[in-house]
Amino acid sequence: MQRLKPRTVGAGSFSAPCIPALAEHYFAKLMQLFDALDRPLEPADVAAMRSAFHNCLTEGFAGSPYARFVLAYQPAESNPLALDCTMSVVSPSLEEQYQDWLQHSADSEPFGSEPDAMVVELAKELGRAGPIRILDVGAGSGRNTLPLARAQHTVHAIEPVPTLAKQLREAAHTEQLEVRLFEHDILHDQIELSAGPYQLIVLSEVSPHFSQRDFARVLPRLVGKLAPGGVLLFNAFIARSGYSPDALAQQTAQSVWSTFFTRTELAELTSALGLVLSRDEACLEFERAHLAEEAWPPTRWYVNWAQGRNLFSNIAGVPPIELRWLAYRQDPTTELARPQGEGGGATRSASPYAAATRADSTGSMSISPAAAARCKSKTDQALASFGIVW
Ligand SMILES: C[S@@+](CC[C@H](N)C(=O)[O-])C[C@H]1O[C@@H](n2cnc3c(N)ncnc32)[C@H](O)[C@@H]1O
């Protein structure tokens, strides 16, 4: 059997989302893989490999919560008993994520055909005396933008995904609605937001796409564009009271379009901007109660997603996060540090979505054949308790 070993070879790749809290879980799987290939790590290599792997995941996640690591392995040319391994990180652009999702979407209207009841209600309230100026951030194909423009409001929309922007533009053109469309990624482009201020700024189903850090970065810019007495309305996943999320839940949420905030995190974010909460309602209950019966549910995925089940998919009871409508007004007495220039004062960090798919090689190493101590995955337990299915 020993003589057959050099002639028994395996090559392939192992890939998964860059979730740093899962590093040990993945690492244990890698050790099992190398064992199965009859190329276990030398004890001396385990630490180096583990450290390179942890760095790869941390850097990948910091670049984008949608990043994936790819570990490719093949027999080393110089020694068939060794494996050559290369680790890289791949981050799909926002456009690529949507192309993929839209292709698999079973709904003809990807986000629903009716506007959000909350958006309509607030626009009506604010527009009692006449049309208002509204900014719809991450407008998609115009589910909210178009009805708001039909109601005579001046609507500006930001939508970076070309397919969605095209649908919005064409629909507005067909109906001869005046909608100003900015095809920009609000996080990373120097968007010219000089067109404000706005009485209403809406982000519907957008914040769950952003990492917590990016949402914190974008809020000051938007608040800087609110007219006096204006309202910032967004929906966001909020942790239910009594739930203390750990890093695994927080990080995984960001990779499944379900970024969430605890009440404390949200209060820190908004009070620093002088924002005062004026509406706080569960999206599911509010929309179900206010949308026409035939418009419910808005899409096939909406109910499960809004309940937090993208993340807590197999939890039997009520998931510990839920999508909520949150409307804020600015406290007129608060002295704010205004964002500097158009891009705000925040430092711009590496773009999660900026470029098309990129693959940055983050390291390679050879593994020599020897028995290696098996790593135990502590993460398995945490996975079970959060009900995340892998
Ligand atoms: C789930 S869709 C919701 C679309 C629309 N707001 C609605 O409710 O029908 C999320 C939208 O956010 C947009 N989005 C995601 N990241 C964005 C970013 N960085 N800048 C601007 N829009 C973004 C997406 O392109 C997408 O159109």
**Kind plus residue range of the DSSP H or E element containing 323:** strand 321-330
pLDDT for the residue 194: 63
3-state SS assignment for residue 69: strand
Q: How far apart are CA 41 and CA 369, in angstroms?
A: 6
Q: Do 2-90+359-386 and 95-330 show the same overall fold?
A: no
More confident residue, 1 or 118: 118
pLDDT for the residue 106: 67
pLDDT for the residue 368: 43
Per-residue CA distances from 237 to 59, 146, 162, 213, 346 (Å) = 25, 25, 26, 15, 24
Instruction: Give CATH superfamily name and number for 95-330.
Output: Vaccinia Virus protein VP39 (3.40.50.150)
Give per-residue pLDDT as tens, 187-238: 876 666 667 799 999 999 999 999 999 999 999 999 999 999 999 999 999 9
Average pLDDT on 263-268 reads 97
Mutation test residue for ligand 1: of 163, 209, 254, the one with most atoms within 8 Å of CB: 209
**Ligand 1 atom with least separation from CA of 186:** 20
Backbone angles phi and psi of 235, in degrees to 5? -110, 145
pLDDT for the residue 141: 96
pLDDT for the residue 386: 28
pLDDT for the residue 217: 93
186 C-alpha to ligand 1 centroid (Å): 10
Q: Give me the helix-helix angle, 263-271 and 212-223, nearest 10°.
A: 30
Give per-residue pLDDT as tens, 146-166: 999 999 999 999 999 999 999
Show the ligand 1 pocket: residues with CB < 6 angstroms.
94, 111, 137-140, 143-144, 158-161, 164, 185-187, 204-206, 209
Q: Residue of the nearest CA to atom 19 in ligand 1?
A: 185
Q: Residue of the nearest CA to atom 10 in ligand 1?
A: 206
Average pLDDT on 89-96 reads 93
201 C-alpha to ligand 1 centroid (Å): 14
Four-residue CA torsion sign, 129, 133, 135, 140 = positive
Average pLDDT on 341-355 reads 31
pLDDT classification of 280: cutoffs 50, 70, 90: very high
User: What is the amino acid identity at position 148?
Assistant: L
185 C-alpha to ligand 1 centroid (Å): 9
Residue 28 pLDDT > 90: yes
3 C-alpha to ligand 1 centroid (Å): 58
Mean pLDDT of the chain: 85
Percent of the chain with pLDDT strictly greater than 90: 71
pLDDT classification of 349: cutoffs 50, 70, 90: very low
Percent of the chain with pLDDT strictly greater than 70: 83
More confident residue, 232 or 371: 232
Residue 356 pLDDT > 80: no
Give per-residue pLDDT as tens, 39-56: 998 888 899 999 999 999
140 C-alpha to ligand 1 centroid (Å): 5
**Ligand 1 atom with least separation from CA of 140:** 27
pLDDT for the residue 341: 42
User: What is the amino acid identity at position 183?
Assistant: E
3-state SS assignment for residue 336: coil
Cα first-last separation, the chain: 36
Max distance between CA atoms of the chain, in angstroms, equals 87
pLDDT for the residue 135: 97
Report, at the CATH architecture level, how domain 2-90+359-386 is classified. Answer: 2-Layer Sandwich (3.30)
155 neighbors 134 (Cβ within 8 angstroms): yes
Four-residue CA torsion sign, 337, 343, 347, 352 = positive
More confident residue, 351 or 142: 142
Q: Residue of the nearest CA to atom 1 in ligand 1?
A: 205
pLDDT for the residue 351: 27
Residue 337 pLDDT > 90: no
pLDDT for the residue 379: 31
Q: How far apart are CA 39 and CA 53, in angstroms?
A: 18
pLDDT classification of 22: cutoffs 50, 70, 90: very high
Write out the two tokens for 8: 């028994």
Backbone angles phi and psi of 212, in degrees to 5? -55, -45
pLDDT for the residue 331: 76
Per-residue CA distances from 52 to 35, 66, 67, 78, 358 (Å) = 19, 20, 16, 23, 19
In the chain, where are the structural domains located? Answer: 2-90+359-386, 95-330
